[in-house]
Amino acid sequence: MELIRSSPDRGHVWVSISLGILAAIAALLMTPLASATVLGVFVLVPGCWWLLLQSHRWLIAFFCALIILPPLPIHLGDSGPHPALIVLCLGLLSTAVHFRMWSDMGGRLGFLLCIFTLSLLFSVLMAAMNSGAEVALGSLSRVVLFAVAPFVFFFTLNCPHLDGSRLSNLTTWLFRAGVLAALFACVDFYFQFSAPAGFGPQFVWLDGGVFRRAQGLFYEASTLGNFCAFFLTFVLVALRRRSSEIPVSRLELMSGAVVFASALIFSYSRGSLVAVISAAIAVAILNRKAFTRSGVFFVACAVLCPVLVYVLFPAFAESYVSRLVQSAAFIWSSPNGVLSGRLDSWTQIVNFLLEQPWRVLLGIGYKTLPYSGLVGSTVIADNTYLSLLVELGAGGLLVFLTLNVEILRRSFLAFRSASSQKSFFGEWMFCFWVGELVQMISGDLITYWRVLPLYFWVLAIALRKPEIKLSFS
């Protein structure tokens, strides 16, 4: 006991003794419910305690929860609540416990991000006025989910514990968690497991039957495709750099890329495929004098992954290739069919604005188009720019466009930085965001709240002040 009292880690020892006692009690209890309760405490209490010890730890748990945990099978809204929101609450508590004044607010980019978030919040009032309290409550919940990404951005900018080794470990484990999630998506599509909670009704009709598009642990297939595009861009950027400048080995990069590319194909998302191609073009332009390695890998992956998919699931591979060929062949003669009916939706929204042009002043409320009949019927815009124009108004769309320009500008400046690490994250964000801006034409990407925090984390790392040392070595 004297040794325990004199030890600098005596708190850890006492916790271990307490956990041992709890484990013994759990083993002696007879009822399964009581055993599960005590064992739950046995796991949750030390886990929460560990997260609160240092301010950055919740971020690790939060990202892992976002990537590899499914939503809970509880009917609430369009799908069940996600466990990551519980970790987020711990993150807010951790931020309060370790409170220090945030000195870096991201300059103009941070200001625009705050203004855009406030625009979303203001639009909730318009949703209440135009569509009623129930729709407005749904709008508010989606604004809160979007606000998670700005919070992660500002927290990362000012977190003192993200030094070189922690940053390297976090990036490595994020990549591995991403590979695990993409691998599960491939297996899930092949065996067609039951969805753990609500999911988008997206299917592929083959001769052998109707198959749910790969969504993995996400709410719908397009989010999975966008997620895969994010890490494929990471691979393209990493492969052209020296081993000392990247947190993942080349063998692991290439193996993971095959998994991500396969999951992207199984998601059946053409928009995400275009995003990857756009990001690859951006990487090629930024590194036009030294793109050989990434370029060869991109071509090899473009050939190998469809072959792998054909071996595993030939009927699907034929359908996927046929869909791409037909999309290219009929884009001019039958654009609405190629775009899965999006032109009809866009025409309906544009006609609504032409009939009621004053709506572009303040908008009708964020994410009210799919839940109110204000434009004649419920409609999914599947276009970030058009949906923001009608839901936030011209002012909100202008703020959003300015924010995107600033994201590209600051990411490009980070890419040009003398720091190899800032340059790496800056190039990753710049090239990926180019793909995002292209994909936003066919999807409402700012509603992908489970992946947006990852993207803004990369942006924040690229923008962190020079005096905060970043190193993978």
Q: Do 13 and 148 fall into the same domain? A: no
Residues composing the chain: 473
User: Of the candidates 10, 32, 53, which is a domain's last residue?
Assistant: 53
Task: For residue 244, name the pLDDT band (cuts at 50, 70, 90).
Answer: confident
Print burial letters for 94-133: b (CB count within 10 Å at least 16), e (below 16).
bbeeeeeeeeeebeebbebbbebbebbbbbbebbbebbee
Q: Do 72 and 169 fall into the same domain? A: yes
Maximum alpha-carbon separation in the chain: 84
pLDDT tens for each residue of 312-360: 777 777 787 787 888 888 778 788 777 778 889 999 999 999 999 999 9
Which residues, other chains included, contact 45 with Cβ-Cβ below 8 Å and sequence gap of 6+? none
pLDDT, average across residues 53-71: 83
Is pLDDT of 40 > 50? yes
Amino acid at 441: I
For residue 83, tell me if it sits in a domain: yes
Q: Do 32 and 75 fall into the same domain? A: no
In contact, 249 and 470? CB cutoff 8 Å:
no
Cα separation values, 454 from 22, 38, 152, 264, Å: 36, 34, 8, 18
Give me the DSSP letters along 174-207: HHHHHHHHHHHHHHHHHHTPPPSS-----EEEET
Is pLDDT of 2 > 70? no
The per-residue pLDDT for 268 is 87
Q: Do 293 and 333 fall into the same domain? A: yes
Task: For residue 275, name the pLDDT band (cuts at 50, 70, 90).
Answer: very high
Helix or strand or coil: residue 266? helix
pLDDT tens for each residue of 99-113: 677 778 888 999 999
For residue 58, tell me if it sits in a domain: no
Q: Do 229 and 283 fall into the same domain? A: yes
Q: Do 72 and 155 fall into the same domain? A: yes
For residue 60, tell me if it sits in a domain: no
What is the C-alpha to C-alpha distance for residues 40 and 44, in angstroms, rounded to an integer? 6
pLDDT tens for each residue of 369-407: 988 888 878 888 889 999 999 999 999 999 999 999 999
For residue 124, tell me if it sits in a domain: yes
Is pLDDT of 39 > 70? no
Answer positive or negative: Cα dihedral of 470, 152, 412, 285. positive
- Give the DSSP H or E segment for 209: strand 209-212
Token pair 């003794």 is found at: 17
Q: Do 85 and 20 fall into the same domain? A: no
Structure-block tokens of residue 436: 């995002």
Q: Do 165 and 207 fall into the same domain? A: yes
The per-residue pLDDT for 194 is 76
Exposure of 270 in the CB half-sphere (CA atoms within 13 A):
16
For residue 471, tell me if it sits in a domain: no
What is the C-alpha to C-alpha distance for residues 364 and 126, in angstroms, rounded to an integer? 5
For residue 120, tell me if it sits in a domain: yes
Cα separation values, 124 from 121, 145, 164, Å: 5, 13, 41
Cα separation values, 366 from 115, 227, 356, Å: 15, 23, 18
Q: How many CB atoms lie within 10 A of CB 371?
A: 17
Which residues, other chains included, contact 54 with Cβ-Cβ below 8 Å and sequence gap of 6+? 98, 161
What values do phi and psi take at 54, rounded to 5?
A: -130, 145
Question: Between 419 and 426, whose confidence is greater?
Answer: 426
For residue 470, tell me if it sits in a domain: no
Q: Do 128 and 23 fall into the same domain? A: no
The per-residue pLDDT for 290 is 61
Give me the DSSP letters along 104-163: ---HHHHHHHHHHHHHHHHHHHHHHHHH-HHHHHHHHHHHHHHHHHHHHHHHHHH-TT--
pTM for this entry: 0.86
pLDDT tens for each residue of 276-314: 999 989 998 888 766 566 566 666 666 677 777 777 777
The per-residue pLDDT for 399 is 97
Structure-block tokens of residue 161: 């514990």
Q: Do 37 and 121 fall into the same domain? A: no
Is pLDDT of 471 > 60? no
Question: Between 146 and 188, whose confidence is greater?
Answer: 146
Enclosing domain of residue 264: 65-463
Q: Do 21 and 138 fall into the same domain? A: no
Token pair 């991201």 is found at: 106
Task: For residue 17, name the pLDDT band (cuts at 50, 70, 90).
Answer: very low
Is pLDDT of 473 > 60? no
Q: Do 92 and 14 fall into the same domain? A: no
- Give the DSSP H or E segment for 334: none
Question: Nearest-CA neighbor of 247 among 164, 356, 181?
Answer: 164
For residue 473, tell me if it sits in a domain: no
Helix or strand or coil: residue 441? coil
Task: For residue 254, name the pLDDT band (cuts at 50, 70, 90).
Answer: confident
**Own/partner pairs, 307-316, CB within 8 angstroms, 24+ separation:** 308/258, 308/262, 309/262, 309/265, 309/266, 312/190, 313/190, 315/206, 315/207, 315/208, 316/204, 316/206, 316/211, 316/266
In contact, 260 and 228? CB cutoff 8 Å:
yes
Q: How many domains does the chain have?
A: 2
The angle, 0 to 180 degrees and rounded to 10, between the axes of the packed helices 420-439 and 270-286 is 140
What is the C-alpha to C-alpha distance for residues 105 and 51, in angstroms, rounded to an integer? 24
Is pLDDT of 436 > 60? yes
- Specify the DSSP class assigned to residue 98: T
In contact, 83 and 69? CB cutoff 8 Å:
yes
Token pair 């756009």 is found at: 278
Strands 203-206 and 209-212 come out as antiparallel
